[in-house]
């Protein structure tokens, strides 16, 4: 092997092939990141359009999964009563870069029929991680405004097999939570808006836009294209220009 690599021509071929492979891979990754950014921008444009549609009301709520996907982020107006005792605090959720909880409370819209509402965000107690802040929950019938949304994203669970319990949880599965509550939860959630929400309830509702991190993909694309250009530049310098300068000396 050593004697085979001792041939300068063979080494040059190996370096050329390795450079071309590296450039092809990094360029492809850069293109992929640009496509991801484009997909998110298209998604955001679609959701922005849906946000201008008339709000969904009790008699027009989506049923099946396909219908839910077509109505995501559309305004919705619901009437019902809070199941305050079933409030759950989703842990390790951030808003504006701060750690805290998403406050999740079911809204009973008919006997045995409920919608899980993402009511807002509250900061965690840095001194006592088991403490949850008091959240004012009006009693009686209310009207709620917001946007139809999917369930909150799942985070890494340190005890995936353990049944969820207690007010503080890492994740929340709608089907499991429905069985726990003894009511049917719709296969979607609602992001509550500030409109119509109780004043001074302490909940922050600056929900991020789905394409809020699109700049991240452009940054990654720039890095991959930069690495591709760097490999091309290094090859040209060390394999073409530098040997020519050395021969001239």
pLDDT tens per residue across span 140-194: 999 999 999 998 888 877 666 555 678 899 999 899 999 999 999 999 999 999 9
User: What 3-state DSSP class applies to 194?
Assistant: coil
Q: Is residue 54 part of a domain?
A: no
Mean pLDDT within 79-99: 92
Q: How confident is the model at residue 6 (pLDDT cuts 50, 70, 90)?
A: low
The pTM assigned to this predicted structure is: 0.74
Asked if 24 and 108 sit in the same domain, the reply is: no
Alpha-carbon span 190 to 82, nearest angstrom: 13
Asked if 168 and 124 sit in the same domain, the reply is: yes
Top pLDDT among 199 and 227 is at 227
Q: Is residue 205 part of a domain?
A: no
Looking at the predicted structure, is the pLDDT value of residue 44 above 90?
Answer: no
Token pair listed for 65 = 């999964």
User: Do the Cβ atoms of 115 and 78 come closer than 8 Å?
Assistant: yes
Q: In terms of residue numbers, what domain contains 243?
A: 12-43+214-248
Mean pLDDT within 7-25: 89
Q: Is residue 167 part of a domain?
A: yes
Q: Is residue 2 part of a domain?
A: no
pLDDT at 211: 65
Q: Is residue 62 part of a domain?
A: no
Q: Which residue has the tokens 């840095």?
A: 126
Q: Is residue 68 part of a domain?
A: no
Alpha-carbon span 69 to 218, nearest angstrom: 27
Asked if 161 and 219 sit in the same domain, the reply is: no
Domains in the chain, number: 2
Q: 88 burial class (0-12, 13-18, 19+ CB within 10 angstroms)?
A: buried
Looking at the predicted structure, is the pLDDT value of residue 18 above 80?
Answer: yes
Asked if 100 and 138 sit in the same domain, the reply is: yes
Q: What is the mean pLDDT of the chain?
A: 88
Asked if 86 and 187 sit in the same domain, the reply is: yes
> In this structure, what is the dihedral angle of CA atoms 210, 186, 105, 118, given to the nearest 10 degrees?
10
Q: Is residue 89 part of a domain?
A: yes
- Pick from 61-65, 74-78, 86-90: least confident: 61-65
pLDDT at 50: 82
Q: Is residue 92 part of a domain?
A: yes
């Amino acid at each position: 092997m050593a004697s085979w690599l001792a041939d300068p021509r063979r080494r040059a071929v190996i370096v050329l092939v390795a450079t071309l492979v590296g450039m092809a891979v990094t360029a492809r990754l850069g293109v992929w990141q640009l496509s991801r950014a484009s997909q998110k921008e298209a998604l955001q444009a679609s959701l922005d359009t849906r946000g201008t549609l008339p709000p969904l009301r009790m008699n027009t709520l989506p049923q099946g999964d396909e219908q839910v996907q077509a109505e995501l982020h559309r305004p919705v107006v619901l009437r019902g009563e809070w199941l305050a005792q079933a409030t759950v605090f989703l842990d390790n959720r951030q808003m504006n870069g701060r750690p805290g909880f998403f406050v999740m409370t079911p809204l009973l819209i008919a006997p045995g029929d409920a919608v899980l509402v993402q009511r807002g965000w509250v900061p965690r107690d840095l001194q006592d991680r088991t403490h949850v802040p008091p959240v004012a929950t009006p009693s009686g019938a209310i009207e709620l405004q917001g946007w139809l949304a999917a369930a909150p994203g799942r985070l890494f669970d340190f005890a995936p097999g353990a049944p969820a319990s207690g007010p503080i949880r890492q994740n929340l599965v709608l089907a499991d939570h429905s069985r726990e509550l003894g009511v049917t939860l719709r296969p979607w959630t609602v992001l509550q808006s500030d409109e119509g929400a109780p004043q001074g309830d302490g909940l922050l509702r600056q929900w991020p836009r789905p394409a809020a991190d699109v700049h991240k993909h452009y940054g990654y694309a720039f890095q991959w294209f930069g690495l591709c250009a760097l490999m091309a530049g290094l090859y040209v310098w060390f394999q073409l220009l530098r040997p020519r300068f050395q021969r001239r000396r």
